[in-house]
A = this chain, B = another copy of it.
Amino acid sequence: MKVPSKHIESAVDQIASLPGIGRRTALRLVLNLLQRSEDEVQAFSDAFTEMKANVHQCKTCGNISDLEVCSICLDTRRDETTICVVEDIRDILAIEATESYKGRYHVLGGIISPMDGVGPSDLNIQTLIERVSKGNIHEVIFALSPTMEGDTTNYYIYKKIREFEITVSTLSRGVSVGSELQYADEVTLSRSLLHRQPFKM
């Protein structure tokens, strides 16, 4: 579809540059914006520039924050001897939503994936090693995606930190809580048999 305005065209280009949004959807969204008042469109635009100007990466863990150090790293009630290694900021939000983890985090910003051209040097792995090498860390928990790339990244980091003699663990893998067993995939099911746990009541 050819839009008869270069201004709309460039707004569509911008919206369509977001992941998972095609040009047809983008046009629908842009026409919705066009129907709003000038003030509303200004507020829409300002939200992104203000966010970019004011949101920082936490210097310690890589989490997003309005301050230089994030609220999780500043929270002295949290266990600073445990680090949970995640791929993305959204993983922190997901784990925080469970309210069952009270340690600190480390955001890698991705996982090692040669197919996508992502190597160890593209990730925040060096800063993690520095945190661990300072000596007061007791446990590192890997909470990366349960995929080949996630496993590769886990193993890469493990090799770098095993010299520090700390506990290294990963999230348990097995059948999802509340799912039906017959729909579990074969790898998950065979792993959950292999790593079966003592029955507790």
Does B5 lie within 8 Å of A66, measured CB to CB?
A: yes
Does A18 lie within 8 Å of B14, measured CB to CB?
A: no
Query: Which B-chain residue is minimally distant from A46 (CB atoms)?
Result: B45
**The stretch of A35-43, A129-137, A176-184 that contacts the partner chain:** A35-43
Query: Which B-chain residue is minimally distant from A57 (CB atoms)?
Result: B34
Interface SS of A by simple majority: helix
Q: How many copies does the complex hold?
A: 2
Q: Which residue of B34, B42, B53, B64 contacts A8 across the interface (Cβ within 8 Å)? A: B64
Q: With a CB–CB cut-off of 8 A, which chain B residues contact A149?
A: none
Does B4 lie within 8 Å of A48, measured CB to CB?
A: no
Does B6 lie within 8 Å of A48, measured CB to CB?
A: no
Q: Which residue of B31, B43, B52, B72 contacts A14 across the interface (Cβ within 8 Å)? A: B43
Binary contact readout A1-39 vs B (1 if CB under 8 angstroms, 0 otherwise): 111111110110110011111000101111111101010
Does A19 lie within 8 Å of B27, measured CB to CB?
A: no
Minimum C-beta distance from A109 to chain B (A): 9
